Amino acid sequence: MPSFLNVLLQNLISGPATDPFPFGETFTPKRIRGRILVDPERCLGCGMCRHVCAAGAIHLQKDSKGWTITIWQDSCCLCRSCVTYCPMSAMSIDPDWHSAHAEEDKFKRIEQHTISYEPCARCGTPMRVMALDKAKQLYADDADVDPEEIRHLCRSCRQMRDAENSTVCVLRSDINTALQEGRD
């Protein structure tokens, strides 16, 4: 019997190899890409996602109260650059890949969040509060820094606080060295 008949017979015995979709659930590989999501609690509004977006699907619009981040799902090419380069890990990809929709709904397939500024605890400058876990990660090696406190400071005030702490340590060591040399 020719080899193609063996294959045909095996296929008839084993049954169809297709999934029951759309009438039932189907297998989705873990690496499949569905749609981009943003966590507004983690987003600092740095604009890195917009900068690296190859398709131009991410827009940031700033005003005096905060900013609005808009992701046009129909424009997104699912390259994952925004997820890779987001310094705050605010971007992710949802495995929901069911994206078929009517033509008139294409402008409704957006994700939009308005993120408000809060005043800096030191100078009052409008800013976005850093996520607590990110503050803990950034200042893990510095026992003198309270992550809960530091995350409520703007970038300039964080730099000033770090400089003040570093200067004090340097001055103390210089003074101690000078005192030791004076005693000798």
Q: Are residues 107 and 164 in the same domain?
A: no
Q: Are residues 41 and 101 in the same domain?
A: yes
> Helix (H, G, I), strand (E, B), or coil: what is residue 146?
coil
Q: Are residues 137 and 61 in the same domain?
A: no
Tens digit of pLDDT for each residue in 109-136? 889 998 888 999 999 999 988 889 888 8
Q: Are residues 61 and 81 in the same domain?
A: yes
Q: Are residues 39 and 111 in the same domain?
A: yes
Please give the model's pTM, rounded to 2 decimal places: 0.66
pLDDT band at 170 (very low <50, low <70, confident <90, very high): very low
Q: What does DSSP assign to residue 64? A: S
Distance CA 77, CA 58 (A): 11
The dihedral through the CA atoms of 116, 121, 122, 124 has a sign that is: positive
Q: Is 184 contained in some domain?
A: no
Percentage of the residues of the chain whose pLDDT score is greater than 90: 29
> Which residue segment(s) compose the domain that 145 sits in?
118-174
Contact 42, 64 (CB under 8 A): no
CATH number, domain with residue 71: 3.30.70.3270
Contact 115, 40 (CB under 8 A): yes
**Tokens 């730099």 sit on residue:** 159
Distance CA 152, CA 139 (A): 14
Non-local (6+) Cβ contacts of 1 within 8 A are: none
Q: Are residues 56 and 86 in the same domain?
A: yes
